[in-house]
Amino acid sequence: MLDPRLLRNDPQSVAVALARRGFEFDAAGYAALEEKRKALQTRAESLQAERNQRSKAIGKAKAAGEDIEPLKEAVAGLGAQLDQAKAELETIAEQLNDIQSGLPNLPDADMPDGADEDDNVVVRHWGEPPSFDFEVADHVAVGEKLHGLDAATAAKITGARFTIMQGGVARLHRALIAYMIDKHVASGYTEVNVPYIVNSKSLYGTGQLPKFGDDLFRLAEPDDYYLIPTAEVPVSNMVAGEIVEPERLPLRYVAHTPCFRAEAGSAGRDVRGMIRQHQFEKVELINIAHPDQSDACHEAMLASAESVLQDLELAYRVVDLCGGDIGFSAARTFDLEVWLPSQQTYREISSISNTRDFQARRMGARYRDAETGKPRLLHTLNGSGVAAGRALVAVLENHQRADGSVGVPAALRPYMGGIDVIEPTVE
């Protein structure tokens, strides 16, 4: 959530900043509502003061034996006016809150301008896309030849956009997760195991609600429970409503969870294979930081995710997202896009985002200022380090061989019982 003081005092600057994201904010309409709120607040306070004063007068008149009925009637009339003013004030406050809840984060000054993903800025490349002397197969064909991917059976037992993994492919997927967790823990992250179900307050805190409710899986009973779309939600909310002592910062967490997304706005996109699933797994990185540490944490998180792709011997590029492509809560985002031979293009495998104090304000997450002792808003950062399903796709495609086998990157072999290749299963 944006700073309410900034919205009150300079809504036009907010409108200008949000326009860089392609978001239209009605600054004049917001200012008019705010003026109406101020007037109602003043009226309510004035009526309350007058009512209190007259109530005291009634007490004095009663003690003096005077007739208090006229005074009581006047106070009753003030009470009705006060109730009406409070009701109107509550309505205006709800309208302002609805507007505030729907406003995305302000972009960093260094974020590129642009309308959509075509305007994102490529920062750098790492590695060379592999060349093949045979016809390249996509990950679905590779996985099926290994008898390791089965979308048809998953569709039978559940529906579209689900996949069953088995055999060597399932083991490779598990190896990727274990390797990533161990790597991040070794670099200073604390591993956490969190609930896969959260309440609406937590989803509001990280910005998924109210705007993105259609992309969530909501439980029927109890109806305030949702399946998590990412570990970002439960892990970031670990500091919700808390005041963290500055010497503990930054807090660095890594969590492996399944992620559940309805993909409401992706009809017809990536319907084949594991690129866009309703259920997938990620190893998520979360930093809870002092504002002075924020940029350094962002760079370190990006380096951590990059090192995973380097260890997996996967060519990738780093992309600085423009205003038209950046997420709702983010002020700045770098995507890692891995090379997929079957598509002859780079596809997103990780997004590393700094939300500044946007989520912290919604969550009430603060630290205690070392100099003043006063609570200040934390900065929160999140990023996948990396998405396990897409890493599996990339390994299957980039390390495929002509005979249908798949080479196992050296970093994963200790997690694969020492084998260096996954061979097609002979039926």
Q: Which residue in 276, 347, 368, 401 is the catalytic one?
A: 276
Q: Is 350 annotated as a binding residue?
A: yes
Q: Is 384 annotated as a binding residue?
A: yes
Provide φ and ψ at 244, rounded to 5°: -95, 135
Active site residue 261: yes
Query: 94 a known binding residue?
Result: no
From 20, 37, 261, 332, the catalytic residue: 261
Active site residue 351: yes
Per-residue CA distances from 41 to 96, 98, 101 (Å)? 14, 19, 21
329 is in an annotated binding site: no
* Residue 42 marked as a ligand binder: no
Say whether 348 counts as a known binding-site residue. yes
What is the identity of the amino acid at 75?
A: V
User: Does residue 413 carry a catalytic annotation?
Assistant: no
- For 373, residues 6+ apart whose C-beta sits below 8 A from its C-beta are none
User: What's the rounded Cα separation, in Å, for the pair 215 and 266?
Assistant: 10
User: Catalytic residue at 171?
Assistant: no
Residue 262 in marked binding region: yes
Q: Which of 20, 21, 366, 390 is catalytic?
A: 390
Q: Is 398 annotated as a binding residue?
A: no
Residue 232 among known ligand-binding residues: yes
Q: Binding residue per annotation — 163?
A: no
353 labelled catalytic: no
Contact 280, 270 (CB under 8 A): no
Is 349 annotated in a binding site? The answer is yes
**Which candidate in 348, 368, 376, 401 is catalytic?**
348
Which of 35, 37, 10, 23 shows the shortest CA–CA distance to 103?
23
Query: What are the backbone angles phi and psi of residue 264, rounded to the nearest 5°?
Result: -60, -30
User: How far is 397 from 424, CA to CA, in rounded Å?
Assistant: 14
Options 236, 304, 351, 353, the catalytic residue: 351
- Does residue 230 have a known ligand-binding role? yes
Binding site feature residues for ATP: 261-263, 348-351
Annotated binding site: which residue ranges? 230-232, 261-263, 284, 348-351, 382, 384
Task: Give the active site residues.
Answer: 261, 276, 348, 351, 390
Residue numbers belonging to the annotated binding site for L-serine:
230-232, 261, 284, 382, 384
